[in-house]
Chains A and B, each alone.
Chain A
Amino acid sequence: MKELRLMKGNEAFAEAAIRAGADGYFGYPITPQSEVMEYLMAEKPHERTGMVVLQAESEVAAINMVYGGAACGKRVLTSSSSPGISLKQEGISYIAGAELPCVILNVVRGGPGLGTIQPSQSDYFQSTKGGGHGDYKLIVLAPSSVQEMADFARLGFDLAFKYRNPVLVLSDGAIGQMMEKVELDEQRPRFTEAEIISNTPWATTGKTIDRERNIVTSLDLDSGKQELHNLALQAKYREIEHNETRYEAISCDDAEYLIVAYGTSARLSQKAVDLLRAEGYKVGLLRPITLFPFPSAIIAKLAGQVKGILTVEMSAGQMIEDVRLAVGCRVKVEHFGRMGGIIPSPTEVVEAMHTKIIGG
């Protein structure tokens, strides 16, 4: 039986992680995501499912705990906010290199540096272009509602294990803190020992007599072998692009103008679309759900239909680079956004659409 509740985004993510059959959560407090660990500690998931919850000494330790758990074939996750996610980048790079499945939640706040505790989308480059060292990609899911915070905890684990790849849920302070109605999935059992051995035969579960030892590492001192590993990773990323690109197209069928926005920006842009349509302008909204893989093909297709595209981001304009790559100079692409933790209003978006695209 699914269950309906009124929850904060951070709490919904935590509850959904338990119900997705998570084995372990490792975290460190930081605003605006501390409710994730607070909820888990209060909920005592160990008594419900046997799930381990541990407050680490740092974000660095937490992500390395995730590495250790993931290398055992367990469903493990961590959460943080922007400055903490920066600290985790070393571990994320190792996890990507060793091809380990895990879920990482970033409830983004404004930066750079300690920045602010208010919502922002200024971690797009860090999330989609690498973040840590080396050639790697995360699967990046961008929720725009409390419901998607819950849904992406489970989807995140499923994609992570399907591709042996870390999944980043790129949320923001608004989605993490707001309360909405959420429909929660039924409890899924945690993996049994036998399931781990059969589903993740590479995991370190103890070397039995019937198999060679399992080694989890991101190191290869032989550059020829390392390049083969890099090529295999790239092939996997192409497969992910082919299979897992997700987006939502709202009022796009007859659109003459297009807004591209994700997360909180998509919510307020949807209101802007309604206001512009009331003025008589046929405006559509393309909401990327996966930021990697980026929905380039649908944006390229819509570029052949519309007169101009506005990207709305709570940043100086980061995703706009991917939109422009997809569009390839065929139509005008402009950015509108606010920084510093400020959420733009729908009327600001309407005004930007007029000055930068329709009348621009």
Chain B
Amino acid sequence: MALISKEEIRKPENLIYKKTPLLTDKPLSYCPGCGHGTAHRIVMEVLEEMGIQDKTIGIAPVGCSVLAYEFMNIDMQQAAHGRAPAVATAVKRLNPDKFVFTYQGDGDLAAIGTAETIHACNRGENIVIIFINNGIYGMTGGQMAPTTLPGMKSSTSPYGRDVHTMGNPLKITELIAQLPGTIYVTRQAVHTPGNVRKTKKAVRKAFENQKLNKGLSFVEIVSNCNSGWKMAPVKSNEWMVENMFPYYPLGDIKVNED
């Protein structure tokens, strides 16, 4: 086999890996090292591969991914803080032939939006919820989140989360897995190529479930917040593996194949 030169490799016709057209050309506003960009890409690649760009309506939250609609090249609505599952409920009920998903962080989904999350799950709305859990409020500058680990420091728990006065981290994913309305509940990560592949498989399964009108699929992605955690990106991923994963173990929590 003939070797090809560096110059030839860079020619467009020789590229075998490129950005999905379902991501816009706008530079991501996320901090370098953050997992949001990878999660965005996974969701958009799945929509592209399923060929459902023209049938999909995404709901952006309040938080770091409030501007998700700047990067996702699909029709999107920006919801009030925590209300994305309620917004998505109506979008899907009124447009049962469309694919509907929310993309939410931990403050949005597990604190201010707890009621909307639980009730959309309990009604078994035929939607996909993508839940990015990085244990902190990134957008507002690193405050304590419902999923902040015990003892973990944040700007509003500067001496570490004291579970006696601040409560324990909320495992909302395990909680909603108890509800009959959820069909598929899984927890994944995007810090290694292997985990990226697993997450993509999970996201694909979630949207396939929606296609089959099965009910609510919930994909948690445990991710890093190197800025909020005040760590270098690589260090934050190591810290995530050592500290977040024991509390939030990866893998499928509920797979209902009926």
Residues of B within 8 A of A57 (CB): 86, 115-116, 119
B90 at the interface (CB under 8 A from A): yes
Q: Is the CB of B98 within 8 A of A206?
A: yes
Which one, B55-63, B199-207, B229-237, is touching chain A? B55-63
Q: Which of the 9-residue segments B70-78, B175-183, B189-197, B249-257 touches chain A?
A: B70-78
Provide the bound-state CA to CA distance between A206 and B83, in Å.
Answer: 21
B53: chain A residues at CB < 8 Å are 206-207
Contact size range, B: 20 to 34
CA distance A208 to B53 in the complex (A): 8
24 examples of A-B residue contacts, CB within 8 angstroms = A23-B94, A24-B94, A57-B116, A61-B86, A65-B87, A67-B83, A68-B59, A69-B93, A76-B90, A91-B83, A204-B57, A204-B75, A205-B57, A205-B95, A206-B55, A207-B73, A208-B54, A213-B74, A214-B76, A215-B69, A215-B76, A217-B60, A219-B66, A219-B67
Question: Nearest A residue to B83 by beta-carbon distance?
Answer: A64
A216 B116 Cβ-Cβ under 8 A: no
Q: How far apart are A44's CB and chain B's nearest CB, in angstroms?
A: 15
The CA of A24 and the CA of B94, in the complex, are separated in Å by: 7
**Interface contact B54-A64, CB-CB below 8 Å:** no
Indicate if the CB atoms of A219 and B94 lie closer than 8 Å.
Answer: no
| A71 proximal to B (CB < 8 A) | yes
Which residue of A54, A206, A209 is within 8 Å of B75 (Cβ)? A206
**Minimal beta-carbon separation of A49 from chain B (angstroms):** 13
Identify A68's interface contact among B56, B73, B87, CB under 8 A.
B87
Q: Tell me the complex Cα distance, A42–B212, Å.
A: 30
**Within 8 Å CB of B83, what residues of A?**
60-61, 64, 67, 91
Contact A68 B90 (CB under 8 A): yes
CA distance A68 to B80 in the complex (A): 11
Known: A61-B115, A69-B91. A219 touches B78 (CB 8 A): yes
Min CB distance A205 to B, Å, is 7
Q: B122: shortest Cβ distance to chain A, in Å?
A: 9
Instruction: Give the distance in Å from the alpha carbon of A177 to the alpha carbon of B253 in the complex.
Output: 49
Interface flags, B38-65, vs A, CB<8A=1, else 0: 0000000000000001111101100000
Q: Which residues on A sit within 8 Å (CB–CB) of B116? A: 57, 60-61, 64
Query: In whole angstroms, what is the CA distance A67 to B90 when docked?
Result: 8
Q: Is B79 an interface residue (CB 8 A)?
A: yes
Answer yes or no: A66 CB below 8 A from chain B CBs. yes
Q: Are B80 and A207 in contact (CB under 8 A)?
A: no
Do the beta carbons of B75 and A26 come within 8 Å of each other?
no
A58 within 8 A of B: yes
Sorting the interface of chain A by its residue count into under 10, 10 to 19, 20 to 34 or 35 or more gives 35 or more
Contact with B along A60-100 (1 / 0, CB 8 A): 11101111110110101000000000000011001000100
Which of these, B54, B78, B95, contacts A215 with CB under 8 Å?
B78
Closest to A203 in B: B75
The verdict on B89 contacting chain A, using a C-beta distance below 8 Å, is: yes
Nearest CB of chain B from residue A206's CB, rounded to whole Å: 5
Contact A64 B78 (CB under 8 A): no
Q: Do A207 and B91 touch (CB < 8 A)?
A: no
- B70 shortest CB reach to chain A, Å: 8
A66 vs B79: C-alpha distance when bound (angstroms) = 11
Residues of A within 8 A of B77 (CB): 67-68, 71, 204, 215-217
Residues of B within 8 A of A72 (CB): 57, 91, 94-95
Question: In the complex, A67→B83 CA distance in Å?
Answer: 10
Q: A68-B87, A76-B90 are in contact. Are A207 and B75 (CB under 8 A)?
A: yes
B88 at the interface (CB under 8 A from A): yes
Contact partner of B69 (CB less than 8 A), chosen from A26, A68, A217, is: A217
CB distance from A77 to the nearest CB of B (A): 11
Contacts of B91 in A (CB 8 A): 68-69, 71-72, 204
